[in-house]
Amino acid sequence: MDRAPEPALSAEDIAAFIRDGFIRLDNVFSRQTAEEARAILWRATGCDPQDPSTWTRPVIRLDQFGQAPFREAANAPVLHQAFDQLVGKGRWLPRDTLGTFPIRFPSAIAPGDDGWHIDVSFGYEAPDFMEWRANVSSRGRALLMLFLFSDVEQDDAPTRIRAGSHIDIAKQLAPAGEAGLTLRELAADGFARSSQRPEVLAVGEAGTVYLCHPFLVHAAQPHRGKNPRFMAQPPLLPREPICLHRSDDQYSPVELAIRSAT
């Protein structure tokens, strides 16, 4: 009799996700897949990987790549298992592209996009809002994900993460109900509510993926190293709304984290 596959995440992993707002998965996709993806991305940047004199901007943003290496990375079996465990089986939508790629280059020029924030998820589609928003039930986003397509060390502009900051954001959003708050409103105090949280750097080898609670406060930073950083930061989209009041009490870890704060 065949044994069921081991779950992607242990009970300790899930507890850490609820507490810290993120988990790191290593070796999600192969180095070969990462290399094939980088070759496509290098062509899209218009830069020469062998000639740093062509790396004239601190960041180049690319969007929505769906070629084979990106689809392979996005749909690794271990990721699908982890999505089931964190969001709930059948409650998320598979990805066939990988969202935005902020490619960061070594540069003395300030990138201009390195402030603390959360990724807001709805608003422009509704004419009465007309500004990106987030709400306590994380409408439109089940997870924030960071896919490393190059090796990222401390000086290679790793994303900065405030561990546990998803709790602070849930508390801030709760009084605003379903309408939520705009990013401008959330950032009015410079995200001071989470300023005492420990800072973690999203480092790792190519093939590493960070799965983050949608309320996690994070920030970019200048690139002080030598090798350009290739990373995707797509959302995992919900198939059904995140629900904070389930009659069957079958809450996902994403939901449990919000409930524990509110």
Residue 5, pLDDT above cutoff 70? no
203-240 pLDDT, tens digit per residue, is 999 999 999 999 999 999 999 999 999 999 999 999 99
Residue 145 φ then ψ, to 5°:
-130, 145
132-146 pLDDT, tens digit per residue, is 899 999 999 999 999
In whole angstroms, what is the distance from residue 231 CA to residue 207 CA? 10
Burial of 189 (0-12, 13-18, 19+ CB in 10 A): exposed
pTM above 0.85, yes or no: yes
170-209 pLDDT, tens digit per residue, is 999 999 999 999 999 999 999 999 999 999 999 999 999 9
Beta bridge partners of 143: 236
Nearest to 194 by CA among 174, 172, 179: 172
Domains and CATH numbers, the chain: 11-261 (2.60.120.620)
Residue 121 confidence (pLDDT): 86
| The residue count for the chain | 262
In whole angstroms, what is the distance from residue 133 CA to residue 136 CA? 10
Residue 130, pLDDT above cutoff 80? no
Residue 131 confidence (pLDDT): 81
